[in-house]
Structure formats: structure tokens, C-alpha cells
């Protein structure tokens, strides 16, 4: 099982990459919900959805946007049993880090942690290699 929060080394690497990589970053979120949210009377998905509604405001305030969010129907190659996937674009790695470390995020993050059983978060940068 993966951690729900990045470890300090992962944050430091993303910050270092933000110094050299300019432009947008798309975060690929693989999400597995708990059957019941920690300490609550709602499902893990309902708890995460509450987080999602609140984090969308923070993302948009930074100039980012949710590109796509949907159900993960079936894994065809590889391992993993994911319930949902989200693609979220931020104007920069720096903007993502500002949001992740903000007081506002601290106030809503409990719904994310309460609802997720497992997650993977991958920072992605667009390339044009398929168009060459």
C-alpha cells in the first residue's frame, strides 16, 4: 500500500524540479477508496468527493483545472485495483507545492486521508515525442 501523503524527499525533489522545469504540470491521481471513511458515517468515496469539491476551488484559484475525473473500470496491463482516476493541471510545480502546503489544504486534507485506502500521485510533463 502506498502512503497517502508524499514523503519529505518526494516533496524536495518536486521542488527542485520546479526550479528547472517551467510550465504546466499534470498530476495523475490513482485512487482507491476505503469502504467506510475513517471516523465518519460516510463511505470513503463520499469523504473523498467532499475533499474534491473543496480542492477544486483551491486548484482554480491558482490558475489550474481538473482536466478529467472518472471511474477506473478495468486494469488491462499491470497491477492495481483503482476506483477512480483524476488528471489535474497546475500552472507549475511551484503552484502545486504552494497549494499542497497552504493552510487551506490543511483544513480540507482530512477528508482525503479519511476516504483513501491507497493512492498514487504522478507529476507529468507534456512532451511532443508522438508528434515527431
pLDDT in tens, 83-112: 999 999 999 999 999 999 999 999 999 999
Q: Where are the beta strands (DSSP E) in the chain?
A: 25-33, 65-71, 84-90, 116-124
What is the domain range of residue 76?
22-126
Tell me how far apart the alpha carbons of residues 15 and 17 are, in angstroms, rounded to a whole number: 5
| Interval 36-47: pLDDT, tens | 999 878 999 999
| Cα separation of the two ends of the chain | 38
Q: Does residue 41 belong to any structural domain of this protein?
A: yes
DSSP 129: G
**43 lies in some domain:** yes
% of the chain exceeding 70 in pLDDT: 93
For residue 43, the domain's CATH number is 3.30.70.100
Predicted structure pTM score: 0.88
How many structural domains are present in the chain?
1
For the segment 114-122, the average pLDDT, to the nearest whole number, is 95
Is 71 a member of any domain? Answer: yes
The answer to whether position 118 is within a domain reads yes
Amino acid at each position: 500500500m502506498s502512503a497517502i501523503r508524499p514523503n519529505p524527499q518526494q516533496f524536495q525533489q518536486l521542488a527542485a524540479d520546479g526550479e528547472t522545469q517551467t510550465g504546466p504540470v499534470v498530476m495523475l491521481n490513482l485512487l482507491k477508496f476505503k469502504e467506510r471513511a475513517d471516523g465518519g458515517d460516510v463511505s470513503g468515496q463520499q469523504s473523498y468527493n467532499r475533499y474534491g469539491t473543496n480542492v477544486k476551488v483551491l486548484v482554480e484559484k491558482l490558475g489550474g483545472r481538473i482536466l478529467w475525473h472518472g471511474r477506473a473500470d478495468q486494469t488491462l496491463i499491470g497491477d492495481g485495483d483503482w476506483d477512480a482516476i483524476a488528471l489535474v493541471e497546475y500552472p507549475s510545480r511551484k503552484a502545486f507545492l504552494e497549494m499542497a502546503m497552504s493552510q487551506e489544504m490543511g483544513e480540507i486534507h482530512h477528508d482525503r486521508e479519511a476516504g483513501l485506502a491507497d493512492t498514487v500521485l504522478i507529476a507529468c510533463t507534456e512532451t511532443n515525442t508522438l508528434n515527431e
